[in-house]
Amino acid sequence: MTAASTDVSQALENDEAQLPLYINREQSLLEFNRRVLAQAKRTDIPLLERVKYLCISCSNMDEFFEVRLAGLYELTHVPGALTQPDDMEPAKAIETLSELAHEIVDDQYHTLNHVLVPELEKENIRFLRRNHWNDQHKEWIRNYFIESLQPVLSAVGLDPSHPFPKVLNKSLNFIVSLEGKDAFGRSNGLAIVPVPRSLPRIIKLPPEATDGENDFVFLSSMLHANVSLLFPGMTVTGCYQFRVTRNTNLFIDEEEVEDIMSALRGELSGRQYGGAIRLEVADNCPPHMVEYLLDRFNLDEKALYQVHGPVNLHRLNAVPDMANRPDLQFPPHQPKPMSTKSAPKKAFRLFTRHKQPETMFERIANKDILLHHPYDAFTPVVDFLKQASTDPDVLAIRMTLYRTGDRSPIIDALDKAAQNGKEVTAVVELRARFDEDNNILQATRLQDAGVHVVYGVVGYKTHAKMILVVRREQGKIRYYTHMGTGNYHQITTRFYSDFGLLTANQAIGRDASKVFQQLTSLGETKGLEVLLQSPFTLHSGMIERIQREAEHARQGKPARIIAKMNGLEEKEIIDALYEASQAGVQIDLIVRGICSLRPGVPGLSENIRVTSIIGRFLEHHRVYYFENDGKQPELYCASADWMKRNLLSRVETCFPVLDPACFQQVYTEGLAIYLQDNTGAWLLQPNGSYLHKETGDQEPFNAQQSLIEKYQS
C-alpha cells in the first residue's frame, strides 16, 4: 500500500461505516447495469426505447458473466491472487457478486412482466402466451412450426451413442422429458433440442393469424406447443428452455507464438465452448432436471438463474422495429453535416492554385476542426481519408484500427490509397474483444491490397485512435492528423458520444509520426512535444497534473479538476485524487461505468463528486481538465480511461486541445453541460450505490437533448 493509501485508510477508520478504501470493480460494473435497467422503468422515456434499455441490460449481464465473472473464476486458480483495486479474495468476490447479479436478473424479469408488458398491451403490442392462443393462433403457429422450424431442428435423444451435446455459448436449448419407447424399443427418458441461431427468437403474427396489429409469439412458446412433433411415438411430459453462458476470454501466450493472427484464429474457434459460468433455466423446470443440468455443466447453485420468461431477454430487441410505432420511440436523430461555408482564412495561405471547393486539407490548414459525435456526422473523417487516397501530394497514410465494422468506408479508402501507390500503414488490433473475427478479415483484405499491416505490440493492445497523413506542400513535408476518443466505426459514431480533432498542428503531427514509428519499428519514442502516451507518459502525466492542482490549492491558488471518462479504477490515480481532495481541490468526475473511487467521505474525498450520465447515447468521450492556477488551463482528450489496463498495459494517446475555439467547445459540450444535467445524471454515494439526481426546484435539463437541439438549430 502506498503512503497515500495509508493516510486515507486512517481517515476511513474514523468513518462509522468502516468502508473499504476502494469500490470493487465488478460491483461497480453491476451498479452501472442497475442504472441502465432503471431506464426501462422511467415513464418519461418512450415505451419502446424502454424495451431497448431492458435488452441492453441483458446484453451487459451476458458480458459480465462471460468476461468479468469468468476472469474471477480464472483468478481463483492463482495462489494468493486478489482483485484490483480493492484486494478481495476472488472466491469472496464471486460470492458477493453472484448475490448482486441475482438481484439484477430478478429485477429484469419483474420489469418485463409487471412494468413493460402491461404498458405495451395498452398500446396494443402483445406477447401472446400459449394459454391465450385461440384456434386461429394455434393453427397458424402449428403450420409455421411444421414448415419453418421443424426442418431445421435436430432433437438429440440421450443414450450411450447420443451423449449430451456440446452446447454453444448463450444458445437457446430445451431439455425434454419423455415417456414410451423410441423407434428401437428403448426407454431413454431425456432429449435435448438445440435451437439454431438462424431462427428468429420472436415472430410477429401476420394479419391472417390474428386480429391484433402487433401480436408477437416467442419461438420458445411455439416449440413448447409443438415439441411432440419431434418425437413421434413417444409422449412429451416436460419441455424446459435453458441457456448456458460460457467463459469467452481468450488466452494466447504472445511471447511464444510466431504468428498472432494464426494463434488467434485457433482460439476463436473454441470460444463458444469455454467453461460454463452461468445456467439459466425456466422457473418451472423440475428440481431433478435442474440438478441434472448443473451437473452436466459442472456448476453449483450460485450459478443457477431460474427465470420467469424467455431465457434471453435480449431477443426483445427486435420488437421496436417490427412493431413500427415511431410514436413510441425517440424522434430520429440526423448528425449535422460539415458546413459547406469556407473557414476563416489565415493571413498566410499554403494553397493558392485554384478557386475550386476547398479540400479537407485546406480546411484543416485554415483552422482545427473539432467533431462531436453523434451530433456531428462522421463523414468528414471518411472524406479526409478518401481525399488523401487520391491526392497526388499525399505521400503516406498511417492509421490505427481497433473497431471498424463490416463494409467500412475507412477500409475502402485505405485499400484505394494503397492501390494508388500511397505508402499506407495500418496498425490493426486483432484482440479487440468480440471484434477479433472482423479485424482478422479486414487485416487480410488490407494486406492483399498492399497495405503494410502490423498487429500492434506483443502484450500491449493498441487502443489509440489516430490517423496521420503525410503531404508534400511547396517542397516541404506537412502533417495532417486526426485524433479521437472513439473508434473508427461508422455505426457506433451514431450513438456513442466522442470527440475527434482534425488538425494541421505540426507538433501533434510530429508526435503522431513518432508513435507510429514506434508501433512499426518497436523503437523508443523519446521527446514527444505535446502528446501523452501509454504505457510511458500518460499515467505519470495525469498524476503530475493532479498533484500540481493539489499544490496550487495548498498555496491558496485556483485549483479545479473536471474529468470525464468511461471507467476509473487505477489505484495511484485514485490516491492522487484523494490527496488533492484533502488539499482542497474541487473535483468533479463524470464516470459513466466503473468507478472504484469513493466520493464524499469526510477527511478523504469530501471535495470529490462523481456523476454518471445514462441517456439516449452511450457516453464515451474521455476529457481531462486542469485549472492550472487559472492562468493557463489545460484540456486533454484521450483514447484512454483512468483504468489500469489503459494507463499501463495498452498503447493509448492523449492529446491537448490547443485551438481556443475548440478548447471552449470541448469544455462546454464535454464537461460543463453534463454537470448541469438533472434528468440523466446519477450521483455515486460513499457506499458504492447511486442515487438519481433530482430536479428539485430547477427546470429539467438533459445534456444530450440540449446538444441535439443545439446541433439541429
Q: Count the Cβ atoms, other than its own, within 10 Å of residue 579.
A: 19
- How far apart CA 364 and CA 381 sit, in angstroms, is 12
The DSSP symbol for 318 reads G
* Residues 313, 437 contacting (CB under 8 angstroms): no
- How far apart CA 38 and CA 36 sit, in angstroms, is 5
According to the model, what pLDDT value does residue 165 have? 86
According to the model, what pLDDT value does residue 629 have? 93
Going by the annotation, the residues of the binding site for Mg(2+) are 403, 433
- How far apart CA 683 and CA 696 sit, in angstroms, is 15
Going by the annotation, the residues of the binding site are 60, 403, 433, 496, 592, 620
At residue 149, the 3 state secondary structure works out as: helix
- Active-site residues, by number, are 463
Highest mean pLDDT: which of 183-197, 459-473, 516-530? 459-473
pLDDT band at residue 404 under the 50/70/90 scheme: confident
Its pTM surpasses 0.85 = yes
Average pLDDT of span 355-359: 73
Query: What spatial distance separates the first Cα and last Cα of the chain, rounded to whole Å?
Result: 53
pLDDT band at residue 523 under the 50/70/90 scheme: confident
Angle value at C-alpha 618, between 613 and 620, nearest 5 degrees: 85
According to the model, what pLDDT value does residue 6 have? 45
pLDDT band at residue 658 under the 50/70/90 scheme: very high
Would the pLDDT of 64 be above 90?
yes
Q: Count the Cβ atoms, other than its own, within 10 Å of residue 124.
A: 12
Determine what percent of the chain is predicted with pLDDT higher than 90: 76
Q: Per-residue pLDDT tens for 218-271?
A: 999 999 999 999 999 889 999 999 999 999 875 544 444 444 445 444 444 555
What phi and psi values does residue 449 have, to the nearest 5 degrees?
A: -85, -5
According to the model, what pLDDT value does residue 164 have? 86
Would the pLDDT of 526 be above 90?
no
**Nine cell digits for residue 91:** 472466491
Would the pLDDT of 63 be above 80?
yes
**Nine cell digits for residue 440:** 482478422
Q: Residue 466 pairs with which residues in a beta bridge?
A: 483
For 469-503, the DSSP string reads: EEEEETTEEEEEEEEESS-S-TTGGGTEEEEEEEE
Going by the annotation, the residues of the binding site for ATP are 60, 496, 592, 620
Average pLDDT of span 106-131: 96
Q: At what angle do helices 436-449 and 409-419 cross, to 10 degrees?
A: 20
- How far apart CA 281 and CA 174 sit, in angstroms, is 9
Q: Residue-wise over 231-244: b if at least 16 C-beta within 10 A, else e? A: beebebebbbbbbb
CA atoms within 13 A of residue 512's CA, in its CB half-sphere: 30
Would the pLDDT of 355 be above 80?
no
Highest mean pLDDT: which of 8-22, 455-469, 553-567? 553-567
Give the H/E segment covering residue 454: strand 452-454
According to the model, what pLDDT value does residue 261 have? 47
According to the model, what pLDDT value does residue 252 have? 44
Domains (ranges, CATH) in the chain? 148-319 (3.30.1840.10), 360-530 (3.30.870.10)
* Residues 181, 233 contacting (CB under 8 angstroms): yes
According to the model, what pLDDT value does residue 157 have? 85
Q: Per-residue pLDDT tens for 269-306?
A: 555 668 999 999 999 999 999 999 999 999 999 999 99
According to the model, what pLDDT value does residue 345 have? 45
Determine what percent of the chain is predicted with pLDDT higher than 70: 89
Edge-to-edge strands, sheet with 214-218: 125-127, 214-218, 202-204
According to the model, what pLDDT value does residue 253 have? 43
According to the model, what pLDDT value does residue 105 have? 97
- How far apart CA 302 and CA 292 sit, in angstroms, is 15
Mean of the per-residue pLDDT values for the chain? 89
Q: Is the alpha carbon torsion for 227, 231, 234, 239 positive or negative?
A: negative
Q: Per-residue pLDDT tens for 582-639?
A: 999 999 999 999 999 999 999 999 999 999 999 999 999 999 999 999 889 999 999 9
According to the model, what pLDDT value does residue 541 have? 98
| Stated length of the chain | 713
Would the pLDDT of 346 be above 50?
no
Would the pLDDT of 655 be above 80?
yes
